[in-house]
Structure 1
Amino acid sequence: MVYCPYNKEHKMLRKKLQQHILKCRVIYKDTVELMVCPFNSSHLIPEPQFFQHTQSCEDRNIIVHYQTSAPAVLSEDTRHAKIESEENWDDDESVPDYDPQVYCSRANIVREPNGLFPAQRRAFIEQEKRRHFGEDYEEEKKPRKAKARADLRPTPYEHRRPYSRRQ
C-alpha cells in the first residue's frame, strides 16, 4: 500500500497511484505545489525536499548503474561478415507497385461496401454481383407482396361508404 503525496490520509494500491494522482492534482492544485522526480514520475516531492530526494531516490540507482556500467562486449560468435549483393530491389522499375484495391477487384474476394451512402452501396453490390457472376448477370426482380387483408381495411379516419346489400 502507498500513500498519496497530496494527502497522506489517502491510501491505495501501488497500481492505482497514477490514476489517483491525476484526481488529487486537480483538487489540490492551488494548495500543494509538488515537483516530479526525474527518476520516477510517480514520485511527487515538495520543493524544499526535492534536492535531497534526487540524491537519495531509490530509482536513481538504476540510472546511475546504467550510466557507469561498461558497454556490452560483442564476442566473435555474434559478429557477422558484411554480405555483399549485386541485387537491388529498389532499382527494379518493371514491377508495378502493389495496390490492394486493384488486387481485390481482380481476385475472387468478397468485399464489403463500408462507409458508403445507400445509393453508392447498392451500386457497389450490383457491381460486385456482376464481377462474381459475370457481366450478363441479371438479378430476378421480386414481385411486390400483396397487401394483407388488414391493410385493405379503411383506417378510422377515412371516409367509409355505407354498407348495403343492394348494389
Structure 2
Amino acid sequence: MSKSSKVVPGSIVEGFVVCPFDNVHRLLPSRLAVHLVRCARNFPSAKMVRCPFNVTHVHSVADMMTHVACCPNRSTMVHYMNPETLPPVEPRPADFCVQSAEDWDAEPPAKTYNPRTHCENNFLILNPQGNAPAVRREIRERERRRFLQNNQF
C-alpha cells in the first residue's frame, strides 16, 4: 500500500510560515524568531538582512530598501520618532490640601485605656501565664484575697 503525500486544502499546513532561508522549513508563527536565529547559522553565505522594525522580517539586501519603505511595523517607529503627532497626555490633577481643625498629633481629650487598672478595678480573673509556679501561686492567692475583701464570691 502506498500512501500519497498530498496537501489537502484546509489542513494543518495553512497556519504555518515558510522560512526565508530554506523554503522546505514550515513552522508556526510563534516559533519563527527562534528558528531564524538557528537557521541563519546554517546558511552563512546567504545575503539576507533583518528588518529594523521586526526581526522576523528577513529579506535579501536588494529587497530590503523596498521592504523598509512599506513595512507594516514601520508605524511604531514613526510614532516614536514624532511624539507630537501622538494624542496629548491628560494633565495631572492639581495637588490639593484639605483644611481641617483637627490636630491628630495632639493628645486625646479622654484618658487612654490601661488594661491593668481596668482588671484591678473590675474584679476580673487574671491568668498568670509565663511566670514561675511560685509566682503564679502568689498571684492566685492575692486575687482570692482581693475578691473576698470585696465580697465578689
Question: Shorter-chain TM-score category?
Answer: 0.3 to 0.5
Give the TM-score normalised by structure 2.
0.46
| Bigger share in helix | 2
Task: Name which one, 1 or 2, has greater alpha-carbon Rg.
Answer: 2
